[in-house]
Chain A
Amino acid sequence: QKEVEQNSGPLSVPEGAIASLNCTYSDRGSQSFFWYRQYSGKSPELIMFIYSNGDKEDGRFTAQLNKASQYVSLLIRDSQPSDSATYLCAVRTTYNQGGKLIFGQGTELSVKP
């Protein structure tokens, strides 16, 4: 089992819809969870992080964390074509100290006009 798993996609949604991206992790003691967006040919950029159970909202983005079920999700409301990118989930686990993160493979999102 991979430490951090994401559906590779591509996930295709129409413009204006809600895009839902999911990520599961294996280390129950994981502490911090991050969502990065990566446009083709560019480097990952942080969208948001979450470390407490529940929802965290930032504009059109909502991160949801459920530690009991070991999953974290990212919702994008009112999806725009400019949201088309690969979304990387990253986790700081209990055994990866020194600031290391474990990254998922990424989910490719395509928002169709």
Chain B
Amino acid sequence: DVKVTQSSRYLVKRTGEKVFLECVQDMDHENMFWYRQDPGLGLRLIYFSYDVKMKEKGDIPEGYSVSREKKERFSLILESASTNQTSMYLCASNSGEGVDTQYFGPGTRLTVL
């Protein structure tokens, strides 16, 4: 079974703090994704990576950056957290081959005070 893990289920941070969200997958997947999910807005893609050290902006990259130094790990960074970044953050991965099912981690509920 594919396993995607995220470093925290719940996180509370203060405005202006630097926040790191970590995601690890154990299936040697090429592609990894970061989404945020808000009521009424659905899943929105922040960034994705198709290889180590490679990244591409998604639909809402502003205020975020990412890092992929190893194939299995994809980090989302909020350089200076703001209250409008309070959200559910979901990491996903897929192989980049065949049907390309995306597998999701459990999510991190981030609250910025």
Contact = CB atoms under 8 A, between A and B. Distances in A.
Interface residues of A, number: 22
B44 to A, nearest CB: 9
Interface in B78-97: 90, 94-96
Interface of B: 30-31, 33, 40-43, 45, 48, 50, 56, 90, 94-96, 99-107, 109
Interface of A: 32, 34, 36, 41-46, 49, 51, 88, 90, 92, 98-101, 103-106
B42 A99 contact: no
B104 A44 contact: yes
- Residue of A88, A101, A105, A106 with most chain B CB atoms under a 10 A cut-off: A101
Contacts of A36: 104
Contact of B50 (A43, A88, A98): A98
